[in-house]
Amino acid sequence: MNQEDIDFSDFIASSIHDMKNSLNIQIGFLEELMGECRNKVDGSMLGQLGHTIYEANRMNVNLIQILSLYKLGKSIYPMDIAEQSVKEVLDEVVLQNQSIMGFKGITVSVACDEDCYWYFDRDLVTGVLVNALNNAYNYTTDKIRVVAQVRDGMLEMRVEDNGRGYPKSLLQENVASNKGVSFSSGSTGLGFYFSSRVAGMHKNGGKQGALSIENGGAYGGGCFVLTLP
């Protein structure tokens, strides 16, 4: 193959894949270091280490989202819609982030019936929920609630926090659209764009998944809402 035949997006995707693997190794090292430092250093230092791990995890999630979008764009993502225990998925997502939440003093609760089952791509939906938890981590005061229930024939999954809520300007925007980047805030809109793509790929009986945000919920803060048919 000539050098000119290499698709630039393929080259970028390959590079991101390598970066993701290296980052995973670093995250593992940092988590091991945190375990060794527990009860040996003051809380402030542990908090800083916890925040470093959070940022590394957030970067890892972003890289996975970019890779997933690349595969979706190339139509090579192995979409796997299968019946899932919703409670099990929510518990797994919370468990993945439990230690980081704990270091910031954040309590995360799950509200979902044990017998709630639904059809969706587990990896993609897990990615959406992890992204929502990462956002809630930044804006909550100290509580996050992950809740799922069937409403009007659709599965509604919500991540609610007790922070200040989404700004009015963001609530008025269409979060499903790709708004580009904001150099003032540093936001790329990647998380919302990825989540909206995942929602839209879930279709059933003439209905389609959707993503929305609102303020209120059980804690009166921001609410990230994923609805699946």
Cα separation, 206 vs 213, whole angstroms: 23
Provide the pLDDT confidence category of residue 174 given band limits of 50, 70 and 90.
low
Residue 49's SS3 state is helix
Contact 159, 107 (CB under 8 A): no
Mean pLDDT of 14-27: 87
Retrieve residue 114's tokens. Answer: 């044990």
Cα separation, 194 vs 191, whole angstroms: 5
Mean pLDDT of 53-81: 89
Cα separation, 80 vs 35, whole angstroms: 36
What pLDDT was estimated at residue 183?
47
Could you give the C-alpha distances from 163 to 132, 166, 175, in angstroms and in order? 14, 9, 19
pLDDT digits (tens, 9 = 90+) for 84-118: 999 999 999 999 888 788 878 899 999 999 999 99
Look up the pTM and report it: 0.84
